[in-house]
C-alpha cells in the first residue's frame, strides 16, 4: 500500500482579518451597491473565517483589470508557493528531489501551459524523466483526488516516490462586478495557499499512514451546482444554495457505505480530514455521521485560521493532524472532499 511520508502546507505572507477584507473588497466594487455590501459583510461574519492570506497585498487588486493580467499574477505567485510547499515536504520526508518518480499537481484557480509542475521541475531539482500528471477542474476535491491518483501511480511502482502539489489562489478569481449571492459568499469564504505531500510505494520503508482504499463518486444531475463559468473577466463561481442539502442526502450515506466495505463505521474512525467547505457543510456532515464536535475540530480550526483553500485544505488539515501527534497504530483516518461534478472523494487511511 502507498504510504504518506510527509505533508507540508504554506500560506502567502499577506494576512488580513475577515472584517478588513470584507471592507476592502466592497470598496473595489464599481457600483457601490449598499445592499450587496451589507450582504457581503453578513456572509463574512458567518463564514467561520477569522483570517485569510492573499497572494498579493490588498492594494494590488485594483490593478488587475482583466483575465490575462490576473492569470499572470496567479502564475508568478502560484509557482513561488508551490515551490515552497514541495521543498518543505521533500525536506520533511528526508528524500532528495531526484528520487521523485511521479509528480501530480492540482489547481482550479489559474491556467498554465507548460503546467505548474513542469515549470517547477528544474527549480526543485526533479529528474528530467519525472512522470507528470497535471489536474484541473477538480476544485476543492483536488487534494483528495490527487492522493488517489498518487496511490494508483505507485501501485505500479512499489519502490517509487510521488509528489503531490495542490496550489490555489482563490483571491485572484475575484469578480468585482458580480454581486450574486454565490460570489459574495465565495468572497467571504475562500483563501490562498498551497500544500504538498510526499508518498512512497509499498516496497519503501516508511512510518507514515498508509492509503487503504479510495473512492470517487459523481452525483448525476448536479453539474450546475458547483464550478466555474469562464468569461472575459475570468472565473465566475457557481455555488448552489442546495449544496448542504445534497451533502445531507448523498454524502453521509456515501461515507457510511465506503466505510462498511471495510467493516468500519464512522465511530471507528479516529482522524477525520474533512475539507472545510463552510460551516453549514461541516454541520451537516457532523450531524449525518453522528460525529462528536472534536472529530471536525481540525477542519473548523483550519477554516478559521486561513479560510477554505480549495484543493489545498485537506493537505493543511492532514498536516495539522500529524503535527498534533499521530493516532495509535492501527487507527483509521478518513480524508473527505467535495468538488465540482458534484462529486465526492474519499480516502481511507490507516496508521
Q: Which residues are catalytic?
A: 140
Strand partners, 199: 4, 162
With b for 16 or more beta-carbon neighbours within 10 A and e for fewer, the 220-248 pattern comes to eebeebbbbeeeebbbbbbbeeebbebbb
Which region, left, alpha or beta, applies to residue 51 given φ > 0 means left and ψ of -120 to 50 means alpha?
beta
Contact 285, 296 (CB under 8 A): yes
What DSSP line would sit under 237-250, residue for residue?
EEE-TTHHHHIIII
In this structure, the number of other CB atoms found within 10 A of the CB of residue 122 comes to 9
Cell of 293: 464536535
Strand partners, 333: 271, 349
Secondary structure E strands in 156-224: 161-169, 192-200, 210-218
Secondary structure E strands in 23-148: 51-54, 102-107, 131-136
CA pair distance 66, 68, nearest whole angstrom: 6
CA pair distance 89, 299, nearest whole angstrom: 21
Amino acid at each position: 500500500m502507498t504510504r504518506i511520508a510527509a505533508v507540508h502546507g504554506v500560506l502567502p505572507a499577506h494576512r488580513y482579518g475577515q472584517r478588513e477584507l470584507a471592507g476592502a473588497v466592497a470598496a473595489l466594487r464599481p457600483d457601490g451597491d449598499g445592499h450587496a455590501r451589507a450582504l457581503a459583510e453578513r456572509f463574512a461574519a458567518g463564514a467561520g473565517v477569522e483570517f485569510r492570506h492573499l497572494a498579493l497585498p490588498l492594494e494590488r487588486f485594483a490593478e488587475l483589470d482583466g483575465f490575462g493580467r490576473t492569470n499572470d499574477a496567479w502564475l508568478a505567485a502560484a509557482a513561488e508557493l508551490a515551490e515552497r510547499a514541495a521543498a518543505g515536504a521533500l525536506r520533511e520526508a528526508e528524500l532528495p528531489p531526484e528520487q521523485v518518480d511521479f509528480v501530480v499537481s492540482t489547481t482550479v484557480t489559474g491556467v498554465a501551459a507548460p503546467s505548474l509542475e513542469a515549470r517547477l521541475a528544474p527549480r526543485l531539482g526533479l529528474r528530467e524523466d519525472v512522470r507528470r500528471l497535471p489536474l484541473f477542474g477538480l476544485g476543492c476535491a483536488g487534494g483528495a483526488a490527487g492522493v488517489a491518483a498518487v496511490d494508483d501511480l505507485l501501485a505500479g511502482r512499489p519502490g517509487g516516490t510521488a509528489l503531490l502539489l495542490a496550489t490555489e489562489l482563490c483571491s485572484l478569481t475575484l469578480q468585482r462586478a458580480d454581486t450574486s449571492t454565490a460570489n459574495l459568499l465565495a468572497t467571504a469564504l475562500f483563501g490562498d495557499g498551497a500544500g504538498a505531500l510526499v508518498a512512497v510505494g509499498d516496497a519503501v520503508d516508511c512510518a507514515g499512514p498508509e492509503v487503504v482504499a479510495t473512492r470517487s463518486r459523481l452525483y448525476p444531475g448536479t453539474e450546475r451546482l458547483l464550478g466555474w463559468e469562464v468569461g472575459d473577466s475570468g472565473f465566475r463561481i457557481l455555488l448552489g444554495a442546495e449544496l448542504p442539502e445534497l451533502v445531507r442526502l448523498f454524502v453521509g450515506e456515501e461515507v457510511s457505505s465506503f466505510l462498511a466495505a471495510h467493516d468500519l463505521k464512522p465511530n471507528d474512525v479516529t482522524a477525520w480530514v474533512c475539507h472545510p467547505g463552510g460551516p453549514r457543510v461541516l454541520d451537516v456532515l457532523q450531524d449525518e455521521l453522528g460525529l462528536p464536535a472534536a472529530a471536525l475540530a481540525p477542519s473548523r480550526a483550519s477554516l478559521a485560521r486561513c479560510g477554505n483553500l480549495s484543493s489545498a485544505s485537506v493537505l493543511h488539515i492532514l498536516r495539522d493532524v500529524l503535527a498534533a501527534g499521530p493516532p495509535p497504530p492501527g487507527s483509521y483516518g478518513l480524508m473527505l472532499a467535495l468538488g465540482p461534478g458534484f462529486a465526492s472523494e474519499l480516502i481511507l487511511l490507516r496508521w
